[in-house]
Amino acid sequence: MSRSLEIRLGQFSDRGIKPANEDFYGALIPEGETLTLKGAAFAIADGMSSSELARLAAEYAIKNFLNDYFATPDSWTVRHSGERVLSALNRWLCGQSASMHDPARGMVTTFSALVLKSTTAHLFHIGDTRIWQLRGATLEPLTRDHHSWVSAQRVYLNRALGIDTHLEIDYRSLSVEIGDRYLLTTDGIHEYVPPLHIKQLIAENCNNLDAACRALTAAARIAGSPDNLSCQLLCIDNLPTPDVDSTFRKLTELPFPPPLEPGMVLDGYHILREIHSSPRSQLYLARDGNSGKLVALKTPSVNFEDDPGYLERFRHEEWVGRRIQNPHVLKVIETTQRRRFLYHILEYLDGQTLRQWMADHPHPPLIKAREILEQIASGIRAFHRLDMLHRDLKPENIHIDQHGIVRIIDFGSTKIAGIAEIASPIMQSDLLGTKNYVAPEILLGAPATTSADLFAFGVIAYELLTGHLPYGERLGREINAKWMARLRYMSARNERPDLPVWVDGALEKAVRLDPRRRYAVETELPFDLRHPNSEFIERPIRPLLERNPVGFWRTIALLSLLGNLVLFYWLHPGG
């Protein structure tokens, strides 16, 4: 039986002997899908006492972190979301401080946050607030203080929100266990209550976390703390541990549609004709009975009715398509009908795949290839900005309509970083994609990265211009490092002598076997295909063996044959 994340929370704040409380804390424990996709967040801050706006800075940081973190895309990882939000908060605080022109009114605060998602704790930390873990009888700090003591009474912060526009965030993640307790404290507590006493007070109030927090602040005050006193204590009562059976039941809540024929109606969609069929899915042209618009209806293949991995990817395909809004990515339409079967509704595209277009236009002009590749790059960038990897880029998964608009289609292999953080009993492999377009590091067992998508993009660019593959069919098999060391790029100018040297150089860089030496972002290859890169013009001419290994060995064989003939006639002149 599957379980969900269950957390108990206690918290308390006291100004202590100070006239005002400059600490602030907050927590947000959502429900349902948001808890699954984003987790629960807890944060504590201590405004810098030397500033008149210390409390305001701490409050602003906590409230906006909690609001903005949950507003980031669901596809982003916790780390990506947290660091983006904190960087924006820091810029705003620095801007406010600069506009005051008064050091006594600086917007500066420490900040520590804990995000619990699935079975993992994610920590973000700047300053000298602390996050602790109490597991069993072991209490340990999970953060380090970013401050320096200049005397027995004076301490200076080395890092905090609002100090510097360049923000350095301590981030770490660790596995969570049922029964774990996490404590967030400001320095007014942890500088005056020793760890053994902290453990004792928590143990004495284990059933009342608010009381435990009040006991900690009281102990700090008794110990002579001159500062504000704030803490949060949370206990993990349950963790999401979905089992295979419950996960499969959820994936199969909607049955597969029956075989569809023209004239049939499925949930209000009138089937007109089959567009495409493969062993993995079927695609039909349909008309929406409500709006009258033409749509494409995609159904799963009955071949995979009992395959949870396939079912999960099929559902993710719709999830991806609804979240990416880009003119060069196929749109998935949210159905207004009550759905009784498993299928997707897609925008209908009248045109052809890039594979079909390439067959009709072998060796296209460079200017046309540029137009196509720039649109593909825009689509890939839309995936990567949402922490998604397409993982199956190839000419068959790129569509060109009658107006020349290019779109990336088929998201069945897409990896969603934010979803990958969620514990699941269904194992998904990184070795997805299609022969000859899968990056070599993936074949060697490395995890997929954006560079793998860019490799496939480079192969598509090379094939679009030449009609061939940059390494022939030699990447279409399982390889090892020794085999890969023997692979050689085949110059695009072998097939297209009209291509400039710098275009060939750009294509070669796009498909380099070492991902560290490829282009790093989607726009670089299209840029270098329009603007001559001096790196590819001024470099020395490579040996023929590297530029054209097949031609090299053909030449060697021909010279050897001619040499043998000359030797034969020289030895047998009267032959």
Alpha helix segments (H runs only) across 272-349: 308-323
Least confident of 22-36, 118-132, 143-157, 557-571: 557-571
Reply yes or no on whether the pLDDT at 200 is more than 80: yes
Q: Are residues 407 and 532 in the same domain?
A: yes
pLDDT band at 360; cut points 50, 70, 90 = very high
3 state SS of 16: coil
**Residue 132: what pLDDT?**
98
3 state SS of 264: coil
Instruction: List the CATH number of the domain containing 335.
Output: 3.30.200.20
Tokens of 397: 């998964």
356-361 own/partner pairs: CB under 8 Å, 24+ apart: 357/400, 358/395, 358/463, 358/464, 358/467
Q: Are residues 319 and 425 in the same domain?
A: no
Q: Are residues 81 and 186 in the same domain?
A: yes
**Residue 98: what pLDDT?**
77
In a domain? residue 565: no
Tokens of 192: 């005056």
Q: Are residues 102 and 64 in the same domain?
A: yes
Domain final residue, candidates 322, 347, 372: 347
**Residue 430: what pLDDT?**
60
CA distance 112 to 102: 26
Tokens of 319: 């999830």
Portion of the chain with pLDDT greater than 70, in percent: 87
Q: Are residues 268 and 232 in the same domain?
A: no
Reply yes or no on whether the pLDDT at 423 is more than 50: yes
Q: Are residues 234 and 285 in the same domain?
A: no
Question: Hey, which residues does 567 pair with through a beta bridge?
Answer: none
Tokens of 101: 């022109």
Is the CA virtual torsion 286, 292, 294, 299 positive or negative?
A: negative
Distance separating the N- and C-terminal Cα atoms of the chain: 90
Q: Are residues 517 and 440 in the same domain?
A: yes
Reply yes or no on whether the pLDDT at 4 is more than 90: no
**Mean pLDDT computed over 561-566:** 62
75 Cα distance to chain centroid: 7
Contact 446, 431 (CB under 8 A): no
In a domain? residue 107: yes
pLDDT in tens, 465-498: 999 999 988 776 556 777 777 788 999 999 999 9
Cα distances from 349 to residues 272, 274, 286, 331, 336, in angstroms, run 15, 14, 12, 10, 20
**Residue 554: what pLDDT?**
60
In a domain? residue 572: no
Reply yes or no on whether the pLDDT at 142 is more than 70: yes
**Mean pLDDT computed over 311-322:** 89
CA distance 72 to 323: 12
What rounded mean pLDDT belongs to the chain? 89
CA distance 9 to 272: 56
Cα distances from 173 to residues 80, 114, 197, 199, 291, in angstroms, run 13, 10, 27, 23, 48
How many structural domains are present in the chain? 3
What domain range includes position 271?
A: 250-347
Question: Hey, which residues does 23 pair with through a beta bridge?
Answer: 46
In a domain? residue 317: yes
Strand order through the sheet with 294-300: 265-266, 269-277, 281-288, 294-300, 344-347, 332-333
Reply yes or no on whether the pLDDT at 325 is more than 80: yes
Portion of the chain with pLDDT greater than 90, in percent: 69
CA distance 325 to 90: 29
In residues, how long is the chain?
A: 575
**Residue 465: what pLDDT?**
98
**Mean pLDDT computed over 373-383:** 98
Q: Are residues 257 and 385 in the same domain?
A: no
Tokens 């600069």, located at residue: 98
In a domain? residue 399: yes
Neighbours of 119 (CB within 10 A): 17
Strand positions, DSSP E, 331-395: 332-333, 344-347, 351-353, 388-389
**Residue 568: what pLDDT?**
55
pLDDT band at 416; cut points 50, 70, 90 = very high
Instruction: List the CATH number of the domain containing 493.
Output: 1.10.510.10
Q: Are residues 40 and 111 in the same domain?
A: yes
Q: Are residues 161 and 79 in the same domain?
A: yes
381 Cα distance to chain centroid: 12
Cα dihedral angle (432, 435, 439, 441), rounded to 10 degrees?
80
Reply yes or no on whether the pLDDT at 293 is more than 70: yes
Reply yes or no on whether the pLDDT at 553 is more than 60: no
Reply yes or no on whether the pLDDT at 425 is more than 70: no
**Mean pLDDT computed over 360-384:** 97
Residue type, 116: L
**Residue 334: what pLDDT?**
87
**Residue 17: what pLDDT?**
94
Among residues 101, 104, 98, which one has the least CA distance to residue 164? 98
Q: Are residues 46 and 178 in the same domain?
A: yes
**Mean pLDDT computed over 542-555:** 53
pLDDT in tens, 207-223: 999 999 999 999 999 99
Higher pLDDT, 533 or 49: 533
Q: Report residue 332: phi and psi, to 5°.
A: -100, 130
Question: Hey, which residues does 183 pair with through a beta bridge?
Answer: 132, 233
Q: What is the DSSP string of 527-563?
A: HHHHS--HHHHSSPPPPHHHH-HHHHHHHHHHHHHHH
Decide the pairing of beta strands 398-401 and 351-353. Answer: antiparallel
In a domain? residue 561: no
Domain final residue, candidates 347, 367, 391: 347
Tokens of 327: 């003119």
**Mean pLDDT computed over 70-81:** 96
Instruction: List the CATH number of the domain containing 40.
Output: 3.60.40.10
Contact 283, 276 (CB under 8 A): yes
**Residue 48: what pLDDT?**
86
pLDDT band at 1; cut points 50, 70, 90 = very low
Tokens 């079909």, located at residue: 356
Q: Are residues 371 and 326 in the same domain?
A: no
In a domain? residue 72: yes
Burial label for 268, CB within 10 Å (0-12, 13-18, 19+), is middle
Tokens of 12: 């308390």
Least confident of 19-28, 75-84, 336-345: 336-345
pLDDT band at 129; cut points 50, 70, 90 = very high
3 state SS of 113: strand
In a domain? residue 135: yes
pLDDT band at 128; cut points 50, 70, 90 = very high
Among residues 218, 202, 188, which one has the least CA distance to residue 25? 188
3 state SS of 101: coil
Strand positions, DSSP E, 255-321: 265-266, 269-277, 281-288, 294-300
Tokens 């981030």, located at residue: 171
Least confident of 236-240, 416-420, 570-574: 570-574
CA distance 463 to 457: 10
Domain final residue, candidates 326, 347, 368: 347
Reply yes or no on whether the pLDDT at 290 is more than 70: yes
